[in-house]
Chain A
Amino acid sequence: MRYGMVIDLKRCIGCYGCQIFCKSENATPPGILWSRVLFYESGSYPDVKKIHIPLLCMHCKEPECVRKCPTGATTKRPDGIVTVDQTKCMGCKSCVIACPYRARSFHDKESEYFPGQGLTPYERVGYRKHPTGLVEKCDFCSSRLQEGLEPACVAGCMAKARYFGDLDDPDSKVSKLIRDYCGFQLYPELGTYPSVYYLV
């Protein structure tokens, strides 16, 4: 069993919906994005291209962050999800430095979405999951997976550009998509074997 995701870049319209759904599901504090969309423009008139690259933790098969974590807080679960144990992390940021996909964030200090107005009830409840002084990252919405749901970014993608499933199962939707449409990993030369694939 190895959870993975496929993102179809041709379908992605760069609406940042995944970013918002992730924020609303996980109540991540300001400045911390577990799921983000990078936007690039290349070429010059009249041959200009606009590319959106949705990024999240790649849940690599050979995660560098797990190797670099000195405390054992970052581990790889049997289902392939790379997680951070909040009770073990000491906030040394070694894993943040080690991640080539910049998928990890250090939650330095508590801040509010509406400065000077205090935390909203939503933030008060949500921030219990985000203690300060720790490193945090996407966990493929583990709590939703336990309930049999897809990660929030997949369920909420209005362009249906994201697919989620078991990469080890050759008959799963994600495996078929990767096989049939030549799915590729971002920067495969880094040797981390990401579990997130892209289609173009």
Chain B
Amino acid sequence: MMVNNKVLPEIRVNPVIQKEWGWPIAMAVFFGGLGGGLFLLSEFVFIKIGMVLGIVSMCSSVVFLLLDLGKRARFWRVFYKPRTSWLSRGAISLTGAVAFGILYVALSSDAGLSFRVGPALKSVIGSTAGLFAFLVVLYTGFLLSASRFIPIWNTLFLPIQFAIYAFLGGVDVIFIIKALGWISVDVMIFAPIATGLLIAALVLLGIYLVTMFFCRMGAKQGAILLIRGNLSPLFIWGVFVIGLIIPIGIDLLIIFLFPNLTTLVPETLLGISATLTLIGSFLYRFTLLKAGVYYPPI
């Protein structure tokens, strides 16, 4: 069959921006990634309060997902189609991570249930919780990147960036609780990791924006919105300057000025850097959601 495209070029004029997903989804994605990353890292170095905060963060993600629903009483239907829906996969991952996470923390607590199960079963539960937490980290990016008709989201850059931000968020919360004096573990081994993740996030974000700028319609308009449009103050100052440049500067300063990392100063500075990164991390999700321009523009 012949296809007549005579009128098509003429109607590709106005960008249409998605308005359906707003701040609740940005919060859900932010807390989901943060919780998953924090739980995994805390489980790795066994910081119990970190694991608890990771679970709390994932629970917050569930709350924000619920807030965004039109019929909250039917939330259970979200589990119906994990074969094709990333929202479904995300809900299953969140539920699994929270359920197994709580069980693992309970089994690990001194006054808990540790005497009732063997170490093998405990490690199976811990690994399952970790696996689900990792799936949560992945789902947050894929939820957006699976949107075929929003080109600025429909790229593999997004899950990678979201995963980097998730682990970065995890490290940041560990720095903050250390700065608050809630844990006595030496967390300074994470300082170079945090700097590496920050630099990776910065480089990837730069490559992502340049790529989007030279991509098909929709992606380019989204990138323009982020760089020059209404979202540019939040994106450039919030995501780039506050969320990446300043924290990288602080982290490098700490690594070079305090090589021993034993004084209180670097801990406080790391806490400040971590807080700024978390602000940038949320703004990154929020601005990206708001820059969702459709292709086709109808």
Give the CA-CA distance A67 to B21 in the complex, in Å: 18
What is the interface of chain A, defined by CB distance below 8 A to chain B?
Answer: 9, 38, 40, 42, 49, 51, 53, 55, 64, 67-73, 88-94, 96-102, 106-108, 132-135, 178-179, 182-188, 190, 198, 200
What A residues does B1 contact at CB under 8 A? 178-179, 182-183
Check B69 for interface membership: any CB of A closer than 8 A: yes
Which chain B residue lies CB-closest to A89? Answer: B71
Q: Are B87 and A102 in contact (CB under 8 A)?
A: no
Confirm or deny: B114 has a beta carbon within 8 angstroms of a beta carbon on chain A.
Answer: no
* Chain A residues within 8 Å of B80, by CB: 70-72
Query: What's the Cα separation between A102 and B68 when bound, in Å?
Result: 19
Total contacts A-B at CB 8 Å: 128
Q: Which of A88, A96, A190, A200 contacts B20 (CB 8 A)?
A: A96
- Among B10, B13, B74, chain A packs the most CB atoms within 10 A around the CB of B74
Give chain B residues whose Cβ lies under 8 Å from the Cβ of A72.
77, 80-81
A99 and B16 CA atoms in complex are apart in Å by 12
- In the bound assembly, the distance between CA atoms of A37 and B292 in angstroms comes to 23
Would A71 and B81 be within 8 Å (CB), given that A92-B68, A108-B70 are in contact? Answer: yes
Indicate whether B147 reaches chain A with its CB closer than 8 angstroms.
yes
Residues of B within 8 A of A (CB): 1-8, 10-11, 13, 16, 18, 20-21, 68-72, 74-75, 77-81, 84-85, 87-88, 91, 146-150, 292, 294-296, 298
**B18 — which chain A residues lie within 8 A by C-beta?**
97
**8 more A-B residue pairs beyond the given contacts A88-B74, A97-B147, A200-B6, with a C-beta to C-beta distance below 8 A:** A53-B7, A73-B77, A88-B77, A89-B74, A93-B20, A98-B148, A101-B298, A190-B149
B77 close to A90 (CB less than 8 A): yes
Inter-chain CA distance A72–B147, complex, in Å, is 18
Nearest A residue (CB) for B89: A70
Query: Within 8 Å CB of A200, what residues of B?
Result: 4, 6-7
**Residue numbers in A under 8 Å from B296 (CB-CB):** 100-101, 186-187, 190
Pair B70/A106 contact, Cβ less than 8 Å: yes
> Known: A100-B294, A178-B1. Contact between A68 and B85, CB under 8 A?
yes
A98 closest partner in B (C-beta): B147
Cβ of B26 to closest chain A Cβ, rounded Å? 14
* Alpha-carbon distance A198/B7, docked complex (angstroms): 10
A40: chain B residues at CB < 8 Å are 10-11, 13
Tell which of A101, A133, A179, A183 touches B70, judged by Cβ atoms closer than 8 Å.
A133
What is the CA–CA distance of A190 and B80 in the complex, to the nearest angstrom? Answer: 26
A38 to B14, CA, bound (A): 11
CA A69 to CA B79, docked complex, whole Å = 11
Can you offer 26 A-B residue contacts whose CB atoms are under 8 A? A38-B298, A49-B10, A51-B7, A53-B7, A67-B84, A68-B85, A70-B80, A71-B77, A73-B77, A88-B74, A88-B77, A89-B74, A90-B77, A92-B70, A94-B87, A97-B21, A97-B147, A97-B292, A98-B147, A98-B148, A107-B70, A134-B71, A182-B2, A186-B296, A186-B298, A200-B4
Smallest distance from the beta carbon of A135 to chain B beta carbons, Å?
A: 8
